[in-house]
Structure 1
Amino acid sequence: GGGTAPQGPRTVIVGPTDVGKSTLAKVLLNYAARLGWEPTFVDLDIGQGTVTLPGCLAAAPIEAPADAEEGLAGVADVPLVYFFGHTSPSERPELYKQLLGRLVGLLDSRAETAGPLVRSSGWVVNTMGWVEGLGYQMLLHTIDATKADVVIVLGQERLYSQLNNAFKARKGVEVVKLPASGGAVPRNPEYRRKARMQRVREYFYGPRNDLSPHSSSARFDELQVWRVGGAPRAPSSALPIGAAAQQDPLKLSQVQWAPDMMHSVLAVSHAESKDDILRTNVAGFIYVTDVDMIKNRVTFMAPCPGPLPSRMLLTGSIKWLEQ
């Protein structure tokens, strides 16, 4: 069976923002693809999104070197995408872990069936640039969950020594330090926000503006919108002393169509029922252009014409003001 081929290396790239993590991921993937391997790119950087939109955990087999303009999104075979819905994990750390577990589980079982080349080619995992406090805990969790063999730390001595100490007693995890990439420049939050919006734009219009998205409309009752984790949390300072925020972080709540959903980016789940939403990946995204409360109709933009693959939609906090 496919399980006889050795499992290829799983490399996790970590470091603060703007040290060149996604660039290094691209270099490693291109190098492997040129040598005839088919590595899997696992993109956990919900803040920027290389394979698909920001706010997602995604993975794709890379079968050919990427070109400079389209980048990895251009060569990624149909990516496997889970919608987290926010650009920072602090919103829903438990959901992030749950989706990461799903993604890794699915990739593991794919490696068993995809044949020896995919299995032996290994993974390159890009992570987000949040490396302190909860961010550091999430990194440790990610290294464990992906069963990393190699952790490459870019451009931060302190993070390197923390991880080196954390894993030195462990056999099979090698922590390697590299300087930040020479071309990496710090980008301010405004730049990062614009880069996120640009990714949304490219999803619908293509990197070269060569796609024409399709506008459709539907009655409110034809589409269901779900949110994971209930309403956004009250800050703990707003709670009575000694009370913890009692809320199931993975609770699903249905969201009613309302004018404030204009400009939202919604994920189209492959789920067939509410019970499947948490464990099901998404087919793609739509962008809400109008919510008509009198006619009870929503108008949205989709990347292609035709019926949506499912009537189950997911919402988070991702909005896009089309310029």
Structure 2
Amino acid sequence: MKKYILIVACSVFLFSCKESSQPIDEPSVSVIQHADFVDERDGQVYRCVTIGSQTWMADNLKYRIEMGGLGGCFTYGEELVSVATVVVDNKLFAAAATKAVADGKIQDVPGVAANQQPAYLIRIQASLIPSKTFMTRMLPYPDAYKVLEPIYNELLVKATGVAATLNRDKAEKSNGSFAKRYGYLYTFEGAKNAIPAGWRLPSDADWQELEGTLGMKREQIDLLDQWRGTVQGKLLKKGEGGLGFDAEFGGARVFGIFMYGSPYGNKDVNGYFWSSSELALNDSTQVGITRSVMFDRSTILRGTSRKEAAYHVRLIKE
């Protein structure tokens, strides 16, 4: 572990006002670079850095949630899976349904002809027609349907996960392996479900403490939906003048459609990061509080966002 004393200077989408170029007083900040953290879930390796009294990951989170976009986890340009179009493998379904019959979970129905019994239909039809169609044919047999429904749903979840992986892989081929460099984009809920043990999603107060450590004035720290500070954004960015936090400009997946005709945008322009904090706009609507850095700004935006949007995640050590 190495320790450095650095001399540093003290919503969400595009803001374009010009910044002041006046000289700024520069306080001293303690920065400690730690050994890497290895996520036991997938083997991903993350650099770690302590700034002041806080230890942060120096990389964006790269954990892939199994259901991809349906679980709130996207690579750049990834299409959301439509569950209505997902097809369950009818041979797998037929095999599981046949086992349920063999195990005695599906019984003959009194008063029903032999060629209309659920077990007969499973043996004759289940492997030949779409499983979704077969489930519809089981509706007149509620006891059999109750047994088959969890079988179908389990296979549907697996098939949806496969479809999500295919969408991810397709996007990664066209976006230059975005997730490998920038990590994944997460919705607010997705972010909370992707965190490894020993770490947490930083609160708004955690971000404010970091900004204060880097010299942001107290009267600016609480400003909302504004670019604040002097050079704190520059200090957090990757490259010359940065202190090892290494924020990059991976863009976002917004709620709705961007000006470019896609929900994805601002790659190479902005980096967006969730906090764990929420703000109530009214009795029924809460938004998440975010941070953003921009390629041509040295300040930091404290913003708000719909929680369905997807941004990057930096974690802080418990």
* TM-score, normalised via structure 2 length: 0.25
Give 1 or 2 for the bigger CA radius of gyration. Answer: 2
Q: Which has the higher contact order (CA 8 A, sep 6+)?
A: 2
